[in-house]
Structure 1
């Protein structure tokens, strides 16, 4: 299996940019600062306000979980309020992050996620945590079952679909540029079954980028995406046009992971030689940069983003 894409982090500084998992969620950033000071009551209020907006809840909990002190503060919260499902979910996702970082046993993270899932059966977030964990180490059957658990609770779960795309793209690296690869079929199916305004419409672009990552790491595509025909073929042009047209019509600025989609779309437009369209996307992205897909296959994401933005905007 090829190495997984890098996770978003709060302050993964590369070059001149700091990658912030909170993206443009200022309430999340405020609560994260408070949690770092031990004021978990602010996080409690944030998650109460989030309610059953499952994409936003997943985004907020996973971003909070990436902080090194979250596990300890979430444990304090659990002790103070043992009945709190929110405390259990945050503790579970922090355990997943620690396991992914090699600082805790995966079995402990699995147990924490299943305990949290039992406390709040309708919440897909504990299952998202398990999917994040098994995405890199689990069997195919495990990953599919966990994805189904998430979709059962929220059929259009944004983060879960991205994780599945990344996993599926890693199948059959030796197949090369196969237009019938299963990752493309999955992305097209997910985009088609989602509501018209769903950001899952961008999934075919994500699939294209993830497949490039796999092929480039396998030596079947150039390490410089601009040197690859992967982005300029007929299928690629159709996928990029459909996704850009969707963005022009719907945009979904209100979605918590909007900037994730914009980074994938700007990357695709730039690699496909569509500088004017890429420029419009770079304006929307602002400072909310994500490591993926700029790091693909093994590039410095800050440098890659800066080069692409400057070239598209015509700046030095």
Structure 2
């Protein structure tokens, strides 16, 4: 029965975008850059979709053909991967440089691992820094080739956060990014990350940023989900990092009882989910965060239509933050409760 339930889940980051899925298959297992070139050409002027395509394509190269680490030296090849050869053959193509920059950064994260900083070895940090430097170089070329494009500024922001850059540098990047696109979806997710306690901020800074955005974001904007994302980050810290740690039940009780956190969920439902606006490129990501917040605060009936909209497109974050088991366990159980309540 469990196998049947999990077959109803698809975690491919390209989700239902067939053009992006084809390009990702080549990015990970092949060498044909034409699907990616065509896909990215169709995003010009659509900043949210462009950032998503660059991010997902780059993630597909990590661990793919030509990007493995040498077992003896621990160094990652930076010339043979699909993104490397595309950029080398097309030095004046900003899209090729964008994808390579983000690919190098994804490979840097693969070397570092997803654990807390204290668990990362010195040799991992050294290789992470080398790859991040190369990513910066490729990203600088993309900036020079497409000065009005906010996408390279997103990559710079992500690199700066990963490297704990000075706040003044992060603030300058943020100004440049939002000057090009004031409501940039991924840019705001990264700024939220920078504000959260597990990086260089605090719960107060994180919530302050998220709620200040929703106070001015237009109706229908996916940025109304930002405070719900903040709550997911808060719950992760409280259960996994705080001293003393809190139980899942304690966190969920506070989530249910806190009127401001409940208001954040109401706002995300009324000003985004229930609006008839067009579906944005990272629709499923926001749906999963909203369903997570509703499920964890006991609002299963409200979560039912959100799970229906998600369908089979679960995202591993934030479901992997709930409990110690596989992330699909939390998702399937929450979805079942919502279906019964709905």
Which residue in 2 is equivalent to 1:210?
233
Instruction: Classify the secondary structure of the residue corresponding to 1:121.
Output: coil
- Quick check: 1:225–1:271 contact (8 Å CA) kept in 2? no
Which residue in 1 is equivalent to 2:213?
190
- What TM-score do the two structures reach when normalised by structure 2? 0.79
1:174 to partner: Cα distance: 11
- Quick check: 1:267–1:294 contact (8 Å CA) kept in 2? yes
Change (3 A) 1:112 1:218: same
Distance in 1 between the 2:306 and 2:250 partners?
A: 18
Distance in 1 between the 2:320 and 2:93 partners?
A: 38
Which residue of the other structure, out of 72, 87, 92, is the alignment partner of 1:78?
87
- Quick check: 2:194–2:200 contact (8 Å CA) kept in 1? no
Instruction: Classify the secondary structure of the residue corresponding to 1:94.
Output: helix
Which residue in 2 is equivalent to 1:20?
12
1:225 to partner: Cα distance: 5.5
Structure-to-structure mapping, 1:82-101, within 5 angstroms: 82-101=91-110
Structure-to-structure mapping, 1:1-316, within 5 angstroms: 17-35=9-27, 36-67=29-60, 68-69=64-65, 72-102=81-111, 105=130, 106-141=132-167, 142-170=169-197, 181-219=204-242, 222-224=246-248, 228-232=252-256, 233-250=258-275, 252=277, 254-296=279-321, 299=324, 300-314=326-340
1:221 to partner: Cα distance: 5.4
- Quick check: 2:189–2:226 contact (8 Å CA) kept in 1? yes
Distance in 2 between the 1:222 and 1:123 partners?
A: 43
1:251 to partner: Cα distance: 5.5
Which residue in 1 is equivalent to 2:73?
none
- What TM-score do the two structures reach when normalised by structure 1? 0.85
Which residue in 1 is equivalent to 2:70?
none
Unaligned runs of 5+ in 2: 1-5, 68-77, 112-126
- Quick check: 2:228–2:290 contact (8 Å CA) kept in 1? yes
1:149 to partner: Cα distance: 2.6
Distance in 1 between the 2:83 and 2:248 partners?
A: 42
Distance in 2 between the 1:94 and 1:54 partners?
A: 19
Distance in 1 between the 2:317 and 2:83 partners?
A: 28
**Deviations 1:35-83 (CA, angstroms, capped at 9, x unpaired):** 4321101211111111121110000111000123487222322333332
Distance in 1 between the 2:316 and 2:171 partners?
A: 25
RMSD across aligned positions (CA) = 2.6
Unaligned runs of 5+ in 1: 1-14
Change (3 A) 1:182 1:263: same
- Quick check: 1:169–1:214 contact (8 Å CA) kept in 2? no
Change (3 A) 1:87 1:227: closer
Instruction: Classify the secondary structure of the residue corresponding to 1:195.
Output: coil
Distance in 2 between the 1:20 and 1:133 partners?
A: 24
Change (3 A) 1:298 1:146: farther
- Quick check: 1:99–1:109 contact (8 Å CA) kept in 2? no
Change (3 A) 1:226 1:255: farther
1:241 to partner: Cα distance: 0.9
What is the number of residues matched between the two proteins? 297
- Indicate the structure whose relative CO is greater, using CA pairs within 8 Å and at least 6 residues apart: 1
Which residue in 1 is equivalent to 2:3?
none
- Quick check: 1:222–1:228 contact (8 Å CA) kept in 2? no
Distance in 1 between the 2:199 and 2:156 partners?
A: 24
Distance in 2 between the 1:164 and 1:242 partners?
A: 20
Change (3 A) 1:271 1:251: farther
